[in-house]
Amino acid sequence: MRLHEYPVPRLSAQIIQEWAPELAVRYGCTVEAFLDKPNHTIFFPSQTLRIELMDESVVEFKYAFALVSEERRTIAVFTEHCGHHVFPHYQTKVLCDGSLVYAQATHPGDWSSP
């Protein structure tokens, strides 16, 4: 079995590559050092991460963390066992162990605004 033959590992590897600059900042290293051994660098905290999306959809992961990029207008979620995911940030809330840690508000000029 080749690791990148199946969608979850392949997409997770792609998200790690795309978010390497933000992940390197999170872990206090250079992008090059991070990309050299990302699986040895990433630490998955013992917490429950909940993402509440604008349409009231909800996803929840154990052993996960999120990175928010206002510039990309996205939230990347990194999980220990369930792959990595990217969600839109528009009107999204992020909660860790039940505490609100991020809430995106609408504002004029947002691409999703009417």
Residue 94 to residues 28, 40, 48, 50, 61: CA-CA distances in angstroms? Answer: 23, 25, 11, 6, 11
pLDDT at position 108 over 90: no
pLDDT in tens, 58-76: 999 999 999 999 999 999 9
Q: What is the pLDDT of residue 84?
A: 95
Instruction: Identify how many contiguous H helices and E strands the chain contains and give both numbers.
Output: 4, 7
Pairing of strands 48-52, 64-69: unpaired
pLDDT at position 7 over 80: no
Give me the residue spans of the domains in the chain: 3-103
pLDDT band at residue 106 using 50, 70 and 90 as cut-offs:
low
Q: What is the pLDDT of residue 39?
A: 87
pLDDT at position 113 over 60: no
| 8 Å CB contact between 72 and 15 | no
| Segment 35-55 mean pLDDT | 94
Q: What is the pLDDT of residue 4?
A: 52
